[in-house]
Structure 1
Amino acid sequence: MTSLVVFDYGFGNVRSMVRALENVAPDARVELTRDRSAALNADGLVVPGVGAFAACMDGLVSAGGADIIYERVRSDRPVLGVCVGEQIMFNSGSERGIHCDGLGLFGGHVGMLSAPVVPHMGWNTVEVAQDSVLFSGLEDERFYYVHSYAAHELNEPAEHEGVFSRAYEPRVTYGSYGADTFVAAVEKGPLMATQFHPEKSGEAGAGLLRNWIRSFS
């Protein structure tokens, strides 16, 4: 039986993510926990995130989640970050004048969207990366966003690139809002992440979660 853990560190729509995973994988065991052993040993780990970058990082580190993510990536065990759970995978983020280091697994910086109105809230399309696993069969779908900040590109080396078991070429899917372009999703070996909320994205989000689970089960 496939085992899935939603990491419960106090930030994120954890209940809706648990329900979404249960719906797309009814035969899987889905658990909401911060237990280290369960999070390390699950077939797939989901790291949600809602709120400010620095607060999410503080909460993740306090719950032992940073070490768990590093260990899973080092061991080629799948991790999926969602919303701020994607952002904290980058080298750093700045929000409301506060600069904070991220996990450094994706190269780049998270900053405010350049658009007349923020947050970017609602349904939007994506420009899917070639050979994407997450978006296979979903290239023309729309996904649900709620965010004011994002990474705009992977434009520098990841600070903790050495955590990966080998060099993975990231597949980057982009979104746009106003005149701004931002990272909508990244697929890098065992580590994948989305800026939008698949658990709020209807059938398109369900399809993406199925694709993620099928990639390792």
Structure 2
Amino acid sequence: MPSRARGYRVPVPAQPLVVVLDHGADDHGPLAQALTTAGARVEVTADKRTALVADGLVIAGRARAADVMPALRRLGADQVVDRRLAGGRAVLAIGVGMHVMFTDVVEDGAVTEGLGEWAGVVDSVGTPPGEVAVQAPSRSALFDGLDGARFHLPDARAPRTFPLLDDWPADTRLVVPVVIWPSGDERFVVAVENGPLVALAVHPESSGEAGATVLARWVSSLSPLAPSTSPE
């Protein structure tokens, strides 16, 4: 009988490493669990280098932008986001993470300067906090087929317009950003898919099956840097 090789390590499918940036103002446990369920290896950390090299970076939370922005700058998150996007590497911004991707965030009349990845002002919208149904265009990678699905919107704060679309040149070969709007009369930005930068005003980790679908689609779009292996 042939002898069995000892110490052979069997390759197993690689899971993408997703870093949820720990800015200190939120409990990221539920989001980390939802991302794990979606198929990611998840690390919640404030380490700048880990955030830079991860397959996907998530900046999220329900705290005020006025409390989160100083922490992000202190951690060097502004530099990390810029470097990742310049290299075409995925960043997912959720809740306050989406807010700070814009130029300014207005809270109780005070203005907090955001990271400015997109032009636009985030302010209160007419829709009360709770749930919002979405209009899902077919060219959306994350929301296709979810037209009318309801998502959790704990903070009714978002840009009412997406100025980048107004200035988009007609003769460019660049892919036009996909903007998700509510299905009701109130018009504000629910989500944006703009190449490696994806942002959600809604919170998928508390949005049931529809939210789980969005997270699973985002995680499946990531390319792990290296395959993992099983123990000897």
Instruction: Classify the TM-score, shorter chain.
Output: 0.7 to 0.9
> Distance between the aligned counterparts of 2:101 and 2:174, measured in 1?
16
Deviation track 1:179-200 (CA, whole Å, cap 9, x = no partner) reads 5321100010100010010010
1:20 lines up with 2:26 in the alignment: no
Kindly indicate whether residue 145 of structure 2 is the aligned counterpart of residue 133 of structure 1: no
Structure 1 residue runs without a partner (length 5+): 159-165
The residue that corresponds to 1:162 in the other structure is none
* Post-superposition offset of 1:167: 5.1
Distance 1:193 1:49 in 2: 12
Q: Relative contact order, CA 8 A, sep 6+: which one is greater?
A: 2
Q: CA RMSD in A?
A: 2.0
Partner of 2:156: 148
Q: How does 1:87-106 map to 2 (within 5 A)?
A: 87-106=99-118
| Residue in 2 that maps onto 1:216 | 222
- What does 1:1-217 correspond to in 2, within 5 Å? 1=14, 2-25=16-39, 28-114=40-126, 120-155=128-163, 168-175=175-182, 180-217=186-223
Task: Please tell me the residue identity of whatever aligns with 2:23.
Answer: Y
User: What is the Cα deviation at residue 48 of structure 1?
Assistant: 0.4
TM-score by length of 2: 0.81
Q: Is the 8 A contact 1:138 1:208 kept in 2?
A: no
Q: Decide which moves more: 123-132 or 83-92.
A: 123-132
Residues 168, 71 of structure 1: alpha-carbon distance in 2 compared, 3 angstrom cutoff: farther
Distance 1:141 1:176, change over 3 A: closer
Which stretch shifts more, 35-44 or 55-64?
Answer: 55-64
Deviates more, 1:146-155 or 1:136-145: 136-145
Which moved further from structure 2: 42-51 or 132-141? 132-141
Question: TM-score scaled to structure 1, two decimals?
Answer: 0.86
Percent identity between the aligned chains?
37
Q: Partner amino acid for 1:141?
A: A
Number of residue pairs matched? 203
* Distance (whole Å) between structure 2 residues aligned to residue 201 and residue 183 of structure 1: 17
Structure 1 runs of 4+ off > 4 angstroms?
none
Answer yes or no: is the 8 Å Cα contact 2:38–2:219 preserved in 1. no
Task: Give the letter for the 1:46 counterpart.
Answer: V
**Cα offsets for 1:121-159 (capped at 9, x unmatched):** 22221112440011133233211111132111112589x
Secondary structure, counterpart of 1:203 in structure 2 = helix
Structure 2: stretches of 5+ with no match in the other structure = 1-13, 167-172, 224-232
